[in-house]
Amino acid sequence: MNIKLIITILLLLTAINLPAHAQKNMGIAAVVNDDIISVIDLEARMNTVLFTSSRNPSPEEKQRLYPQILRALIDDKLKLQEAKKRNIKVSQREIDEALNRLERSNGISKGELKNVLKRQGIPLSSLTEQIRSEIAWNRLANRVLGPRIRVSESEVNERLISYQQNKKKPEHRLSEIFLPIDSPDQENKILKLANRLHSQLKKGVSFSSLARNFSRGASSSRGGLIGWVRQGRLDNKLQTSINATPEGQFTTPIRTEIGVFILFVHKRRLPANKAQDTTHSQTQVTLQQLFFPLSSKATLVEKASQLNLAKTMASTVFNCQDMEKAGKELGSSLSGKLGTMTMSKLPQNIQNAITGLPVNKASAPIKTSGGIIVLMVCKRVKPKLPPKPKRSDRQKVHHSILNERLHAAARRFLRDLRNAAFIDIRL
């Protein structure tokens, strides 16, 4: 992110106005059990959201964002209160590492984020409090909820079968904004929020920023990034919407059984054998060629004659020694040894011609801009690849299912904390 752009945005943020009724509440936005969320806290979080989204929305758009930002602040308080109750602590080193990651992801020089925030009057505590709650909550979920979750062998088997059935299907690199609906009375409110976020995205607000600040999915701390997901792994509604969305675009809000999703489709690809791809690109080949020149003004008859000659000579050579003799007989200065090269550095048409071509076998004639060539692979050396990780597919699948259930359990746990808490919203 350009530093001048950041400063311009932050200067615009100083004009932000809170709702009039918020200013009449003696600086208290909400009370959460024994903790207070001040109007200053709320304003600081709003400024942080706008800073990370690199946009200056209208006053009306800001007004509509306040309830959602306050809800996020309330959730952060609940998370930190529960972490403190269970003696879970977050070190300053962990906070600093998270800030460094945030700087790198936004193209800001190391340490400069703190200075920019300070110069513009945005308290660093607003950002560090959010980071602290994320780290503490993840640690709490693993420590408290993790031991309660069980994954059976039959469930792992079912997931492995599903992977096998879908292994040839396309993959999508996705990011998500997930808004859970914990009870029916929340549905209208959550759908309105999803539509507002979708509207912000259409106006150019950063997807990762909105995901980080509003998504309740496990990926929120990564700006919503899920990674590569194979077709068939997701809910049918989600998959249908993904398939209809071009690369580099986001879906409309999608209502599912557990909540509302907005997905960003970064890229698509067909599944590939990475080991084979690496072997192919790093393979070294020793080549020899016969070159049959053609001028740019060659007639169709001349072209056909040279092509027939190339086919005839290709059928009479059976090793590289034969190729060398044939090249001398041909009298072409470009015929002969080409040396040893890595496959990835060869032109694509040459790669196509010699991939799978046995050693000491002439290729079919290949048309080039200056004439026709026939190639032969004299030697092929494949690279030695590092051994595959020892972690089995079963372990990976087990870990994946465990994480899915852990995040679902964490959402339910936070809902229960919210329901049991004393929350007094003063706005």
Q: Per-residue b/e over 294-332, b at no fewer than 16 CB within 10 Å?
A: beeeeeeeeeeebeebbeebbeebeebebbbebbeebeb
Q: What was the pLDDT predicted at 261? A: 96
Q: What was the pLDDT predicted at 247? A: 92
Q: How far apart are CA 162 and CA 5, in angstroms?
A: 47
| Sole residue written with tokens 């600093």 | 96
Helix (H) or strand (E) holding 321: helix 320-330
Neighbours of 194 (CB within 10 A): 23
Q: Do domains 170-270 and 284-381 have the same CATH topology?
A: yes
Q: Report how far apart, in Å, the C-alpha atoms of 143 and of each of 147, 152, 248, 308 are.
A: 7, 20, 37, 75
Please spell the DSSP secondary structure of 97-142, one letter per residue: HHHHHHHHHTTPPTTHHHHHHHHTT--HHHHHHHHHHHHHHHHHII
List beta partners, residue 176.
Answer: 263
Q: What was the pLDDT predicted at 47? A: 81
CATH of 284-381, picked from 3.40.30.10, 3.40.50.2020, 3.10.50.40, 3.40.1190.20, is 3.10.50.40
Neighbours of 257 (CB within 10 A): 7
List beta partners, residue 265.
Answer: 174, 249
Q: What was the pLDDT predicted at 8? A: 36
> Is the CB of residue 406 less than 8 Å from the CB of residue 141?
yes
**CATH architecture designation of domain 170-270:** Roll (3.10)
List beta partners, residue 93.
Answer: none
DSSP 364: P
Q: Can you identify the CATH homologous superfamily of domain 3-147?
A: Porin chaperone SurA, peptide-binding domain (1.10.4030.10)
Q: Where are the domains of the chain?
A: 3-147, 170-270, 284-381
Question: Could you tell me how many residues make up the chain?
Answer: 427
| Residue-by-residue pLDDT tens, the chain, 427 positions | 444 333 333 333 333 344 444 444 448 999 999 999 999 888 888 887 777 665 566 777 778 788 888 999 999 999 999 999 999 999 999 998 988 887 887 677 888 888 878 776 678 888 888 899 999 999 999 999 999 999 999 998 888 888 787 777 888 999 999 999 888 888 998 999 999 999 989 988 889 888 888 898 888 878 889 988 888 788 889 999 999 999 999 999 999 988 999 999 999 887 655 555 566 678 899 999 999 998 888 888 888 998 999 899 989 999 999 999 998 888 888 898 989 988 888 888 888 888 889 999 999 999 887 889 999 999 999 887 665 544 577 888 888 889 889 988 998 999 999 999 999 998 7
